[in-house]
Every structure is written in C-alpha cells, then in structure tokens.
C-alpha cells in the first residue's frame, strides 16, 4: 500500500514557478523588454565610441582655413591715418618678443626692471636709435618692417614695462591736419586736374630666387637677428660645423622645426611668414653651410 502511494506521488504533475496568469504576463513582459533594452544600450555604446572627440570639428575647420589661406599679403599704411599705425604692444608681439620675451642674445627681458634700468638711463632717443639701426645681435628694427613711429611706440611700451615713465610718441600735428584737408577737399577739384602723360615704366628688377645666392627677405628681416652671429644656440650662417648635425634632417624637417619653434626660437622665429617663405629662408641657410 505504501509502495503504491509512493509511486503515485512521483508520477503526478510537477508544479512550475508560474502559478497565476499575472505571473505569466510579467514573465512574458520581461522576456521581451530586457533583451530590447540590452540591445539599445549596446547600440548606443558603439555609436558613442565612433563619435568625433570634442573640438575635432573646430580643429578640422582651422586646418582647412590654414590650407586655403593666401601665401602672402600686402599691407598699405597711410602715415597720415593714426588708426593704421600699430600700437606698441602689437609691434612687440609681432617682432620684439622673439628675443625680449626670454631675454636671449643679450636682449633685456620684457618686464625685467634690473635689465632695463641702465638702458632707460640712456634716454628715449638713444633707445629709439638702437632699435631703428640695430645693435649687437639685433638687426635694424629687430628684423621687422615698421614705421619709425611704430618702433618708437614699441620702445616706449617695453621701457615702461621695465620701469620707465616715457610718453608714447604721436604723429606730428601737421600730418593729421593734412589728412583732414585732403578729406574735406571738393571732389570737383580732382576732376579738374589734367592727367599727366603716362611715364615710361622702368625695367622691373628680377626677384632673387632662393638658389641665386641672395639672402631671402625673411632671413634679412628676422632670421639674421640670431643666425648672423650664432646667438642663443642658433647655428651661425655658413658655419658648417654648427649646421652639420642639422643637415641630415632635410629641408622639410628643418622647416617644420622653425614653424613650431625650438629652444629660444619662438614659432616662425617670431614672424608672420608663410610656410613657403620659411622654407626659402631655411634652404638659403642650408646651402650656405654646404
């Protein structure tokens, strides 16, 4: 009798975990929803991993702008228009910072009162003369191409940051008056002027090439400030021993170094030159060392 009951218990139906319709609905719901959520999260993760990093679009736009930028530009200055003249800090940032920013090649460091003190004592006129004509390793105008007024403003700007109390130079009053007179002159006067016969154009001078032996303008204006005398670790022009370790890098690598800056040399030597102009100057210096 007991054996029959025992056999009957094993042969009967087994009860599962789902016992009510509500439990069945919940189980079916989770069986569909959980995999869907997992798939959505996985797709979102993969898509986010392929998204460009923040700022990539801006960098790409900047790179495109650099590639399509013109090789050079022409800047025309009207000396009778004060607004066309650069300020002292603008000239400093464009040209003077190459040496005065770090105090290389004997240049008094910007803001160093001890270095500027003896020079300020020489007076503004002496400082301006040295800046215009050059002194020591510094080329005339530091290798730049500015008006005397702009150089004077830069001299005053740096001297005052070194402890001086100089007044910034201004355009002569007569120059501004002439500009005002020209602006107020009747238009009819210009029409009444008889045009002069066209003059025979003078022969155009040939532009020197990088391999002609003549120094490129960029070298004369900027690079010579350090490379002419070999100051601040710059290899001296024509010094084969100093240039020997660098020649093996090649023109392109040396050009890239100049663009990025190295050691005491700021990017592009502190100039606003194009890559083509820098490559021409580098080629000239490399050939002088062969």
- What is the Cα–Cα distance from 138 to 105, expressed in whole angstroms? 8
Write down the H helix ranges in 56-212: 56-68, 88-91, 97-100, 113-120, 124-133, 148-161, 173-184, 187-192
Residue 265 bridge partners (DSSP): 262
pLDDT score for 158: 92
How much is the pTM?
Answer: 0.44
In the chain the domains, ranked by start, together with CATH numbers, are 87-161 (1.10.760.10), 217-288 (1.10.760.10)
What percent of the chain has a predicted confidence (pLDDT) above 90? 3
Which tens digits make up the pLDDT trace of 162-200?
898 888 888 766 555 454 554 454 443 333 344 444 444
In this structure, are residues 259 and 267 in contact, taking their beta carbons and an 8 Å threshold?
yes
Stretch 38-50: mean pLDDT, rounded?
81
Residue 7 backbone zone (phi > 0: left; psi -120 to 50: alpha; other: beta) = alpha
DSSP at 203: P
Which tens digits make up the pLDDT trace of 222-231?
787 788 777 7
Which tens digits make up the pLDDT trace of 112-156?
889 888 988 888 888 888 888 888 878 888 777 888 888 888 888
Residue with the larger pLDDT of the pair 127 and 201: 127
Residue 138 bridge partners (DSSP): 135
Residue 211 neighbours by CB under 8 Å, 6+ apart: 283, 287
């Amino acid at each position: 009798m007991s054996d029959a009951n025992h056999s009957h218990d094993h042969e009967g139906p087994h009860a599962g975990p789902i016992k009510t319709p509500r439990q069945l609905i919940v189980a079916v719901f989770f069986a569909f929803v959980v995999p869907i959520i997992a798939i959505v999260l996985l797709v979102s993760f993969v898509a986010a991993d392929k998204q460009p990093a923040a700022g990539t679009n801006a960098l790409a736009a900047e790179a495109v702008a650099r590639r399509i930028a013109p090789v050079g530009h022409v800047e025309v200055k009207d000396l009778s228009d004060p607004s066309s003249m650069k300020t002292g800090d603008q000239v400093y940032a464009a040209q003077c910072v190459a040496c005065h920013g770090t105090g290389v090649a004997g240049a008094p460091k910007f803001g160093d009162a001890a270095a500027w003190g003896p020079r300020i004592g020489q007076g503004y006129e002496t400082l301006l003369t040295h800046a215009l004509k050059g002194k020591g390793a510094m080329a005339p105008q530091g290798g730049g191409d500015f008006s005397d007024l702009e150089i004077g403003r830069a001299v005053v700007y740096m001297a005052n940051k070194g402890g001086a109390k100089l007044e910034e130079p201004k355009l002569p009053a007569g120059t501004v008056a002439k500009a005002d007179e020209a602006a107020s002159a009747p238009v009819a006067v210009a029409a009444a002027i008889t045009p002069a016969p066209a003059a025979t154009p003078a022969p155009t001078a040939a532009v020197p090439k990088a391999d002609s032996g003549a120094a490129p303008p960029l070298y004369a204006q900027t690079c010579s400030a350090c490379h002419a005398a070999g100051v601040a670790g710059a290899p001296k022009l024509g010094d084969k021993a100093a240039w020997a370790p660098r020649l093996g890098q090649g023109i392109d690598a040396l050009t890239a170094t100049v663009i990025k800056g190295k050691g005491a040399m700021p990017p592009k030597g502190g100039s606003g030159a194009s890559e083509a102009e820098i490559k021409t100057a580098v080629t000239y210096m490399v050939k002088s060392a062969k």
